Structure 1
Amino acid sequence: MLQNLNIIDLAIVKSLDLNLEKGLSVLTGETGAGKSILLTALGLALGDRADASYVRPDCERAEINLSFDLSDAPAAQAWLEENEFDADEQCLIRRTIRQDGRSKAYINGRPTTLQALKLLSSQLVEIHGQHAHLTLLDSDEQRKFLDGYAKNTDLLEKSNQAYLQWRSNHIELEGLIKSSTDLSNQEDLYRYQLNELEQLDLTHYDYPALSTEHTKLANLEQILKVGQTQLDLLSENEHQSANQMVSQSISALTDLSLLASEFEEPNKLLIEAQIQIHEATQQLRHFLEAQEIDPLRLQELEDQIGIIQALSRKHHVDPEELPDIAEKLSQELANLSHSSERIDELKHLVEQNQQDYFAFAQALHQQRVKAGKDLSNLISTMIHELGMPQGKFSISISAQEISQPRINGNDKIEFLVSANPGLPLRPLAKVASGGELSRISLAIQVSTSHDKDVPTMIFDEVDSGIGGGIAEIVGQKLRTLGKSTQVLCVTHLPQVAAQAHQHLFVFKTSDAVMTTSQVKTLSTEQRIEETARMLGGVNITDSTLTHAKEMLMTGMAGN
């Protein structure tokens, strides 16, 4: 439960430290006294969006602190432990808002995000605003109320998970099927291109070697002619060859070295040159003898190089890169093959997802029907007590014939009401007047509140549009609810205020500079005076005070 609300420099609140008790606490005060700012502070501390306008003028920042006792909130305690916040039997929430609009949030002294704060606060406080009766006209809100009463959280989560899995797989499957024709054409193209490249014998593909061989064969006549000429000049010309001239020089220098030793070194170099000429001659002769003009091989090479160059131009790469292109095409074909396998896999998954979904949706429908009957009877009884003795409330739950899963099950849920005898049940939005709608809304909220795990409930003028004896019954219902749940109610009705376990009075004080809202807890005597004010307005008579005292004593007697 909420133990303490502390506000510093928020709007018209300079400083407020409010202790709250178990049971039903009411907030009353003149219109404009500042009751709404207290609920605004609670909302901000629990994760609502903030801006600089909330900061009190001439102040650096606004601050709101909440203190909760977690002994009645096991779900919140488990969440704190799971998310590694210090979790004992108390939880401290702090929210600050700066003049520049930036804000920070803390849980048990540790910084946190608004998203995390909202997840925690949803397990601590439930707020029913002034216009809660209008939200009940929305079909999804009606479903939420029913599912909350039926405790369908786990089943609804399983159903929606099956829906999300189906949707994800279905979208992927549709995309693949839609592009399957294009994929088939792409596969044919890749296979054709790969077959072209595989004609090149890619296992032994060596374009530089092919190019070298082609160059030699294409120029072999010139090679043989020039080679033979050089062979003649080196050794085979009997009259004037390099070998013969070197031999003559060696012979002459050998004789001279006997006369002058300086000729020995040049002679040695010539001998080495003669050896080199001999080896060059042998290699050249061997090469020339091995060569053979082969027009067929030359034509084969020209054809193959022509194909290679054509494919290189086609794929916009150098000839040496064609094996890489072939490898890439093979990988693309493998991916396309996997895509076909993925389609088959997705078809199976989509079918399984649908089976799972419809099984969960059927179970959800059955639980809704059972809970709907109980809740309809409960709310019908409640609206009888709230001044609609002939009224009837019913929840229509009809399973829709759908071929594909959808979020939150396949039920159409509609709140129906008949306000007067003899009239058929019709949708809530088309039947109820403003006052009737407020009472029906209150009946729904009170009827479903007993089954919720949230330890603190806040009602913001949800009792508008009613009065007299009905207002007293509303107060009694809220007081009864306060026996099991902490209830905080903003009200203008003395009949409701008289039923409270704790009465908080909101008022304004002003000086020459600033107006400030304050809150005080009323004593019994002060409660009588405030109840009389709510009953009688400006002129409070002894009779009004007596009536107020009787109302308060009657309410307090209800324990």
Structure 2
Amino acid sequence: MLQSLSIRDIVLIEALDLDFGSGLSVLTGETGAGKSILLDSLGLALGNRADSGLVRQGRDKAQVTASFDAPPAKSKLATYLQDSDIDLEPGEPLIIKRSVKADGGSRAFINDQPCSAALLREVGGQLIEIHGQHDDRGLINPKGHRALLDIYASVDTGKIKRAYDAWQSAKEALDQAKEDQASAEKDREYLEHSVAELSTFAPQEGEEQELALERATMMKGEKLTSDLELIRSSFDGSEGGLASLRAAARRLDRIAEDHPLLQQALDFLDRAIIDAGEAEDKLNDAANALTFDPQRLDDMETRLFDLRGLARKHRVEPDKLRALLVELDSRLAAISDGGKSLEALEARLAETKQSYIAAAEALRAKRTKAAKALDKAVAGELVPLRLDAAKFKTLLEEMPEERWNSNGMDRIEFLISTNPGAPLAPLGKIASGGELSRFILALKVALAEEGGAKTIIFDEVDRGVGGAVASAIGDRLSRLSTSAQLLVVTHSPQVASKGDAHLLINKSSDGTVSRTDVKALDDDGRRQEIARMLSGADVTDEARAQADRLLEGV
């Protein structure tokens, strides 16, 4: 709900501070007093285009500050603000401030936090509905008709949204699989050749290092062979060093008991024989390891060259060739198995689409029932508003599949016909200014929707009517104000008499400067203003008496 409005230096308004309460507030004043300036000021705060022409002559800038009740913690508006990084203090009012400079440019703030005009428009649209003769938003905009009908029907759109998301997810998965399959088919020849080539070569992990080490060892062996043979010959045969040590040990063993030193010598000799034996074994092992085999060396060098060549060809390290073979083989297998995967995804797509259609058709049944009830309710409001020749119909038709969405398959639009026999057409294209406002009022009363803006402004909803029709408009505005805060700009005394609060807009001039101000009227002031509306500039006693009767009838 709008709590207050502060205006500084906008056109004829120098400084104005207004407080608003719940219920129905009426704004009256003579033609040209500045009612449109007041609405333009509020529109600026709600994100309308910042026109430098609004700045009062001789001033640098104009500013509007609007204060609203704090949005409920989990409301759509609170969530939207939090998602937009606007901090909210629990229980504190929501304050919107907008300024525009005389030389162009504007700034906007929500709770003292800078925001864009686009954000301001979105927030403003959730705070206030403005219905005027040239309004192209609110109930006139077909984009909002589906949501209004759903609220009227009390339907939960969560199921259709989930079904649509599942359908789209299945569709995306199938499209991606088809794309992958097409890409894989292009690579089939390359994959088959690469897999065959790598399978034939059969690379092993760590093979390059092993081959390089064995090659280096064999090449060392070629250099060391002659030295090794000479060393080994010192050990071999009956004349070799090891054989001589063993013969000496046998002889020494026969005489060792003759003297302690001989026994010690025998012990050292035995250890020498053992060490010499181990040395001979190591020499033999080294000779075997370093054996130079020209054919084996040639084979290793060829394998190593081919291994590194394959690695360069496939742009991987030699040790990664084995893993590459596994990967390419899997991709090749996937091509062959792709048909089965596509069949499963296509079945999933058909299943989720059918679930969506079932949910959408169930939703349409509820909408159809609600549309008939709404048409009947609106028709009941038209006759008292002097729209008895008019017809109202909620159009509900299935859209082509490419336009189905998370809200269902239906296009919903409110249509009217104002003359007998005339075709039904969109709201904003048929009704005149006065008719349009009355149609909107009839719709608002019939819908009485929850979840809409809590503040509604009607600009001259009573234009072109009077008497009983004006009274009917006033009655419906009063009824509607029990569930929402209403601000009504009116020229009708019948409507004005229904207000819970009455604001008088007045323009004054000192000969050089004109000013517009607004003041709240007390009971006597209301009586005088309604009498003026009845009789014109010269207020008569008869007009005052009629004003009393209107006020007493509230």
The normalised TM-score by structure 2 is: 0.71
User: Is 1:311 aligned to residue 316 of structure 2?
Assistant: no
Aligned 8 A contact 1:197 1:322 in 2 = no
Identify which range, 18-27 or 121-130, moves more after superposition: 121-130
CA change 1:232–1:144 in 2 (3 A) is closer
CA change 1:191–1:366 in 2 (3 A) is same
Aligned twin of 1:146: 149
Structure 1 portions without partners, runs of 5+:
237-278
Question: How do 1:99-498 residues align onto structure 2 when only pairs under 5 Å count?
Answer: 99=101, 101-106=106-111, 124-132=127-135, 139-152=142-155, 155-186=156-187, 189-190=190-191, 192-211=193-212, 213-214=214-215, 223=222, 228=226, 287=287, 291-295=291-295, 297-316=296-315, 321-327=317-323, 330=326, 337=334, 347=346, 350-399=349-398, 402=401, 405-421=404-420, 423=421, 426-428=424-426, 432-434=430-432, 436-449=435-448, 454-467=453-466, 469-498=468-497
SS at match of 1:174: helix
In 2, distance between residues paired with 1:326 and 1:103?
Answer: 63
CA change 1:431–1:9 in 2 (3 A) is closer
Aligned twin of 1:4: 4
Aligned 8 A contact 1:458 1:487 in 2 = yes
In 2, distance between residues paired with 1:382 and 1:293?
Answer: 109
Aligned twin of 2:248: none
SS at match of 1:520: strand
- Residue among 541, 548, 554 paired with 1:553: 548
SS at match of 1:22: coil
SS at match of 2:6: strand
Aligned 8 A contact 1:76 1:124 in 2 = no
Q: How many residues align?
A: 497
Aligned twin of 1:97: 99
CA change 1:428–1:206 in 2 (3 A) is closer
In 1, distance between residues paired with 2:327 and 2:515?
Answer: 75
Identity score, percent: 30
How far off is 1:548 after superposition?
6.3
Aligned 8 A contact 2:29 2:506 in 1 = yes
How far off is 1:454 after superposition?
4.5
In 1, distance between residues paired with 2:228 and 2:303?
Answer: 33
Q: Deviations over 1:43-93 (max 9, x none)?
A: 4545667687766664577351414388xx7975995899684434x6342
Aligned twin of 1:87: 90
CA change 1:98–1:442 in 2 (3 A) is closer
CA change 1:110–1:477 in 2 (3 A) is same
CA change 1:151–1:546 in 2 (3 A) is farther
Q: Which amino acid aligns with 2:187?
A: Q
In 2, distance between residues paired with 1:304 and 1:289?
Answer: 20
Aligned 8 A contact 1:105 1:113 in 2 = no
In 2, distance between residues paired with 1:383 and 1:470?
Answer: 10
SS at match of 2:21: coil
The normalised TM-score by structure 1 is: 0.71
In 2, distance between residues paired with 1:425 and 1:55?
Answer: 45
CA change 1:388–1:94 in 2 (3 A) is closer
Aligned 8 A contact 2:77 2:126 in 1 = no
Aligned 8 A contact 2:386 2:469 in 1 = yes
Aligned 8 A contact 1:132 1:462 in 2 = no
Structure 2 portions without partners, runs of 5+:
235-278
Aligned twin of 2:65: 64
Q: Which amino acid aligns with 2:548?
A: M
In 1, distance between residues paired with 2:231 and 2:70?
Answer: 113
Aligned 8 A contact 1:126 1:456 in 2 = yes
In 1, distance between residues paired with 2:457 and 2:147?
Answer: 18
Q: Which amino acid aligns with 2:95?
A: I
Identify which range, 155-164 or 374-383, moves more after superposition: 155-164
How far off is 1:24 after superposition?
1.7
Aligned 8 A contact 1:24 1:487 in 2 = yes
Aligned 8 A contact 1:60 1:98 in 2 = yes
Aligned 8 A contact 2:136 2:428 in 1 = no
Aligned twin of 1:34: 34
Q: Which amino acid aligns with 2:34?
A: G
Aligned-pair Cα RMSD in Å: 4.8
Aligned 8 A contact 1:416 1:425 in 2 = no
Aligned 8 A contact 1:217 1:294 in 2 = no
SS at match of 1:203: coil
Q: Which amino acid aligns with 2:425?
A: P
In 2, distance between residues paired with 1:116 and 1:388?
Answer: 38
CA change 1:516–1:160 in 2 (3 A) is farther
In 1, distance between residues paired with 2:305 and 2:79?
Answer: 75
